[in-house]
Amino acid sequence: MKPIQYFVPKTMTEALSVLQEYGPKVTIVAGGTDVVVNMHHGKLKPEVIVYIGNLGLEEIKEEGNHLVLGALTKIAAIAASSLLKKKAPLLPMAASSLGNPLTRNQATVGGNLVSASPAADMAIGLLGLDGEVTLVSSRGQRQVALADFFTGYRQTVKKADELLTAIRIPLKDIKGTFLKLGRRQASSLSVVNVSCALSISQGGNCEEARLTLGAMAPTPIRATKAEGLLKGEKVTEALIEKAAQAAVDQTQPIDDGRATAWYRKKAAQVLVARALKQSIS
Ligand SMILES: Cc1cc2nc3c(=O)[nH]c(=O)nc-3n(C[C@H](O)[C@H](O)[C@H](O)COP(=O)(O)OP(=O)(O)OC[C@H]3O[C@@H](n4cnc5c(N)ncnc54)[C@H](O)[C@@H]3O)c2cc1C
């Protein structure tokens, strides 16, 4: 077995220079809950590891009209955050549903996004809140909307020399919820997960609707047709059923060890309708 080169940078400059020098040979490790499992199963054989856990980047704050999460913020901290419970409650809901206490204390929000699993719980929550990520390299910095971040099954626009450093979420007056169906109550990846964020006018019409589905396509997806049906309308029982059907019509789930595509569609329709009802009550 070839020895693995291991770097533990203490500063961002140091980390970026290692990424610049070794590029595609590098595996970045944050919490390691995906990387180490993949190494253990022989799916990942890194030549160079950069452990970024000493770079700080662990914060949850309000900045102007945005919420900002540092990429190394632990899932457990998101689940417990009183700021997020007040301003973006579906994120603590999503975080509380991820894995088990041990995983949540180790796993990071940046790792959940870059792992780009179609079922990634934080990805579903953050995409549903119009989040954007900050990607930094020695070449500079760029902001990418999560709507443009996921490009395919476990693929993103992030380049090999880039670090994800933060996630920004626009603050809006929205009601939202996150629902997940797994094969067990805990420590289970989603068969389907749904985030729903609605803004309702004083007159009771839906001003903005954001519905996001996980494990229903190669990437996390927004149910744009259902969102279009809801926007500007009174959210009645009949419209909820129509929107749930439209959301599912836009998906292409697969059969896998967790569920069949047929079951996923049935379950997603129920979950979307339930999420919409919870978001208006
Ligand atoms: C028992 C168990 C249960 C789990 N349950 C769930 C679940 O219910 N829901 C769910 O969504 N996930 C689940 N996971 C998967 C995993 O825990 C999450 O995806 C987690 O958020 C990954 O974060 P991490 O910091 O551990 O990532 P790591 O394993 O460190 O990294 C994951 C990927 O992201 C890259 N990366 C990490 N951070 C950065 C960064 N800042 N910049 C650039 N690249 C980066 C790494 O190179 C790697 O490709 C589970 C895992 C385990 C082991």
């994120």: which residue's tokens?
Answer: 91
- pLDDT at position 175, please? 78
3-state helix, strand, coil in the chain (%, to 5): 35, 30, 35
Among candidate residues 167, 271, 170, the one with its CA nearest the CA of residue 214? 271
Looking at the structure, tell me whether residues 30 and 68 fall in a common domain: no
Looking at the structure, tell me whether residues 47 and 90 fall in a common domain: no
User: How far does the centroid of ligand 1 lie from the alpha carbon of residue 95, in Å?
Assistant: 12
pTM: 0.96
Looking at the structure, tell me whether residues 145 and 229 fall in a common domain: no
Q: Which residue, 170, 196, 227, sits at the end of a domain?
A: 170
- Alpha carbon 26 to its chain's center: 23
Among candidate residues 265, 190, 193, 200, the one with its CA nearest the CA of residue 239? 200
The residue contributing the CA closest to ligand 1 atom 21 is 112
The residue contributing the CA closest to ligand 1 atom 38 is 111
Looking at the structure, tell me whether residues 213 and 274 fall in a common domain: yes
The residue contributing the CA closest to ligand 1 atom 37 is 111
CA angle 129, 200, 87 (to 5 degrees): 40
CA angle 66, 190, 91 (to 5 degrees): 20
The answer to whether the CB of 32 falls within 8 A of the CB of 106 is: yes
Structure tokens at 168: 């920004």
Looking at the structure, tell me whether residues 86 and 152 fall in a common domain: yes
- Alpha carbon 200 to its chain's center: 24
37 close to ligand 1 (CB < 6 Angstrom): yes
User: How far does the centroid of ligand 1 lie from the alpha carbon of residue 112, in Å?
Assistant: 4
Number of domains composing the chain? 3
Looking at the structure, tell me whether residues 153 and 95 fall in a common domain: yes
Looking at the structure, tell me whether residues 165 and 182 fall in a common domain: no
What CATH number has the domain bearing residue 141?
3.30.465.10
Q: Which residue, 125, 146, 170, sits at the end of a domain?
A: 170
CA dist., res. 159 & res. 24, Å (int): 9
Looking at the structure, tell me whether residues 95 and 148 fall in a common domain: yes
Residues in the chain: 281
Q: State what percent of residues in the chain have pLDDT above 70.
A: 99
- pLDDT at position 57, please? 97
CA angle 15, 134, 48 (to 5 degrees): 30
User: How far does the centroid of ligand 1 lie from the alpha carbon of residue 225, in Å?
Assistant: 30
Burial class (CB in 10 A: 0-12, 13-18, 19+), 15: buried
Q: Which long-range contacts (CB under 8 A, 24 or more apart) does 260-263 make?
A: 263/191
Query: Is 90 exceeded by the pLDDT of residue 236?
Result: yes
- pLDDT at position 164, please? 98
Looking at the structure, tell me whether residues 125 and 207 fall in a common domain: no
Ligand 1 closest atom vs CA 165: 41
- pLDDT at position 109, please? 98
Query: Is 70 exceeded by the pLDDT of residue 162?
Result: yes
112 close to ligand 1 (CB < 6 Angstrom): yes
- pLDDT at position 173, please? 77
User: How far does the centroid of ligand 1 lie from the alpha carbon of residue 249, in Å?
Assistant: 29
What CATH number has the domain bearing residue 32?
3.30.43.10
187: domain range?
Answer: 175-280
Looking at the structure, tell me whether residues 162 and 209 fall in a common domain: no
What CATH number has the domain bearing residue 222?
3.30.390.50
Looking at the structure, tell me whether residues 221 and 274 fall in a common domain: yes
Looking at the structure, tell me whether residues 273 and 196 fall in a common domain: yes
The answer to whether the CB of 4 falls within 8 A of the CB of 47 is: yes
Provide the 3-class DSSP secondary structure of residue 102.
helix
